[in-house]
Amino acid sequence: MDKIEDQMTTEERMANLFSPEDFHDEELLIGKTAEMFIKQEVSPNIPSIEQHQHEVTRKLFQRAGNLGLLAIEVPEAYGGLELTKKISGLVAEKMGFGGSFSVSYNIHVGVGTLPYVYFGDEQQKQEYLPKLTSGEWIGAYALTESDAGSDALHPKTNAVLNEDGSAWVLNGEKQWITNARLADVFVVFAKTNEGMTAFIVERTFQGVSVGPEEEKMGIKGSSTATLILEDVEVPKKNILGDVGKGHKVAMNILNMARLKLAFSNIGTSKQALQLAVNYGKERKQFNTSLVNFTMIQEKLANMAIAIYGAESAAYRTAGEMDDAIDSADKVMLVNKISDFAMECALNKVNCSEMLGKIVDEAVQIHGGYGYMQDYEVERLYRDARISRIFEGTNEINRLTISKILLNRYAKAATSNNASTADQPLERNHQYIQLSKYLLQIALTAISNAHINIEHEQEYMRLLADMVKVIYVMESSLLRTEKAGNEKIKRLMTDILCEEGYRRMEEFVVEIISATETTEQKRRLWLDEIRHLSIPIYQNLFMLKREIAKNIIDNPKSII
């Protein structure tokens, strides 16, 4: 997908890859701290959190602050630990076991704190970051409006200078603001004559009020309410970034939030798999445990394989972002982060949709009990649905992915990679090379058809899914080879690559069928695809049974 990356050897790419196996003991200890915090302090309080007992949530934030869990990405100068995106991802993954609290946490440490880290001036950093890092204050992010959901860059909330020019006056309403009734400070986006601008608005400013809690399908324990701004005077020193440049704040912070959400989704997926395995071992039908039925084993294997792929891709992205941040000076830092917009979006889409499928199957394995509120999996099912909507709907994220892809395609010299299919490559490398070739065919077909693709969003959806599949396949393969081809990792990678290629074939056939106007042209393309030299397909049923038995016998191998 990237010309420079394509020129690297497999060994070089493996050396540059970060995967969960690369964490040091000290880093794993931070993850363990988050895990024990959830297990010992958050989980017992979930019933109270779900009842909107916000004083419980506030105390948990203070406890998290004491443990350093709010300080991961904050510079040391402002009370932080100044650690990496990788460690931040590990903590977010562990927090994914925390139900509604994980949502409140992710908003606080992500969009509620990072705007000050990346866009705040020295005074703003000194004033707000120590409070946010300790848990003394809770942060929130106010972008969405009733008429500006996916079209978030065109808000109706407005800001004008007061008569003497000493402050900005804000008016408007921000909808569905997470942490709204908990937050002490909000990053608020408003329209000015110069363009959208980010403002720091404290809860105590006159004219700031919060509406009632929304009644939600899931994540019931996270505070979600409307932020109301009525003639709120905000000092000029509370401009975050530059006047009229609020879109830079909004989009770059959302990119990082999407990756953080992906990690949280991975954690919740592992929780659902764990619940499914435990229940399947205990529950008997026809005098045998559910996990002994091969259709149940197939479900468990599919869940584990999806998690392995998602984990491989997300940690790869976090590692590459860390490398880019380390090599950037302060002036170029934001540009470096924006370079990963596509990867952050595809991880968000992949992990949120993976979570949706996994919790659905976990409920299915529980049968009727999975539909009952006495079982934890019922709450996971409801909580999971929001992940495909917030931090940008998956439709918007797919448009982001495909737009960036088309941009890169337009700038790069196109090349025909069909010959790589004839080189003596290992089967999974063949699947990836052939998948990239299919993507090239799809791009060529769309280009030749002269489609106004922004008005033909089905094509953009398919292109985004093709990029996502390749990224997950490639990340998994590099991780597995770096880990020495351990048997279960290799089996999962074999399945990810084979099933991934099969999906790629479906995607490109759909694009060709839609773009080529004559039957003759369609037949030429389709014949070429059918005659590609691909590895012989395997008996995936047997491979999945072996993976499932490994999970059943040793759940820690995946979770």
pLDDT digits (tens, 9 = 90+) for 270-326: 999 999 999 999 999 999 999 999 999 999 999 999 999 999 999 999 999 999 999
**C-alpha distance from residue 356 to each of 26, 307, 359, 382, 531 (Å):** 32, 12, 6, 9, 36
**Cα–Cα distance, 493 to 484 (Å, whole number):** 13
Strand, coil or helix: what is 388? helix
pLDDT digits (tens, 9 = 90+) for 496-543: 999 999 999 999 999 999 998 889 888 999 999 999 999 999 999 999
Q: What's the average model confidence in pLDDT over 171-196?
A: 97
Residue 135, C-beta contacts closer than 8 angstroms, at least 6 positions apart:
61, 62, 63, 64, 65, 66, 70
Could you identify the residue written with the tokens 């977010």?
A: 92
Confidence of residue 395 (pLDDT cuts 50, 70, 90): very high
**Cα–Cα distance, 124 to 447 (Å, whole number):** 47
186 φ/ψ angles, rounded to the nearest 5 degrees: -125, 140
Confidence of residue 81 (pLDDT cuts 50, 70, 90): very high
pLDDT digits (tens, 9 = 90+) for 203-215: 999 999 999 999 9
pLDDT digits (tens, 9 = 90+) for 5-55: 554 666 777 778 999 999 999 999 999 999 999 999 999 999 999 999 999
Structure confidence at residue 420 (pLDDT): 45
Q: Of all helices (H) and strands (E), which one includes residue 5? A: helix 3-6
Confidence of residue 115 (pLDDT cuts 50, 70, 90): very high
Work out the angle between the directed axes of helices 341-366 and 457-482 (0-180°, nearest 10).
80
Structure confidence at residue 8 (pLDDT): 60
Q: Which long-range contacts (CB under 8 A, 24 or more apart) does 208-212 make?
A: 208/232, 210/180, 210/181, 211/180
CATH topology of domain 141-244: Butyryl-CoA Dehydrogenase, subunit A; domain 2 (2.40.110)
Confidence of residue 152 (pLDDT cuts 50, 70, 90): confident
Structure confidence at residue 521 (pLDDT): 87
Confidence of residue 4 (pLDDT cuts 50, 70, 90): very low
**What's the length of the chain?**
559
- Kindly report the average pLDDT of the chain as a whole number: 93
Domain 3-138 and domain 396-557 have a common topology: no
pLDDT digits (tens, 9 = 90+) for 316-339: 999 999 999 998 787 788 888 899
pLDDT higher than threshold 50 for residue 415: no
The domain limits of the chain are 3-138, 141-244, 247-393, 396-557
Domain covering 247-393 in this structure, CATH number: 1.20.140.10
For the chain, how long is the longest CA-to-CA vector? 81
**Cα–Cα distance, 177 to 111 (Å, whole number):** 11
The DSSP 8-state label assigned to residue 156 in this structure reads: S
Confidence of residue 451 (pLDDT cuts 50, 70, 90): confident
pLDDT higher than threshold 50 for residue 418: no
**C-alpha distance from residue 499 to each of 76, 267, 275, 471 (Å):** 45, 24, 26, 14
| 298 CB-contact burial (10 Å; exposed 0-12 / middle 13-18 / buried 19+) | middle
Structure confidence at residue 9 (pLDDT): 65
**Cα–Cα distance, 279 to 290 (Å, whole number):** 8
* DSSP assignment string, 37-88: HIIIIIGGGHHHHHTT-HHHHHHHHHHHHHTTTT-TTS-GGGT-----HHHH
**Cα–Cα distance, 364 to 356 (Å, whole number):** 12
Q: Which of the residues are catalytic?
A: 391
Work out the angle between the directed axes of helices 54-66 and 100-109 (0-180°, nearest 10).
50
Structure confidence at residue 492 (pLDDT): 97
Structure confidence at residue 327 (pLDDT): 85
Structure confidence at residue 10 (pLDDT): 66
Stated pTM of the model: 0.95
> Could you tell me which CATH class the domain 3-138 is placed in?
mainly alpha
Range list of H helices, 72-220: 85-95, 100-109, 114-119, 122-134
Contact present, 548 and 300 (Cβ < 8 Å): yes
Q: What's the average model confidence in pLDDT over 369-397?
A: 97
Compute how many other C-beta atoms are within 10 angstroms of the C-beta atom of residue 545: 16
HSE of 317 in the Cβ direction (CA atoms, 13 Å)? Answer: 31
pLDDT higher than threshold 90 for residue 435: yes
**Cα–Cα distance, 230 to 232 (Å, whole number):** 5
557 or 189, higher pLDDT: 189
Structure confidence at residue 421 (pLDDT): 44
What is the chain's Cα-based Rg? Answer: 24
Paired with 229 in beta bridges are 172, 208
Query: End-to-end CA distance of the chain, in Å?
Result: 30
Could you identify the residue written with the tokens 């895990």?
A: 35
Contact present, 558 and 273 (Cβ < 8 Å): yes
Compute how many other C-beta atoms are within 10 angstroms of the C-beta atom of residue 428: 23
Report the percentage of the chain scoring pLDDT > 70.
95
> Could you tell me which CATH class the domain 396-557 is placed in?
mainly alpha
**Cα–Cα distance, 417 to 44 (Å, whole number):** 55
Paired with 145 in beta bridges are 148
Instruction: Return the amino acid letter for 382.
Output: R
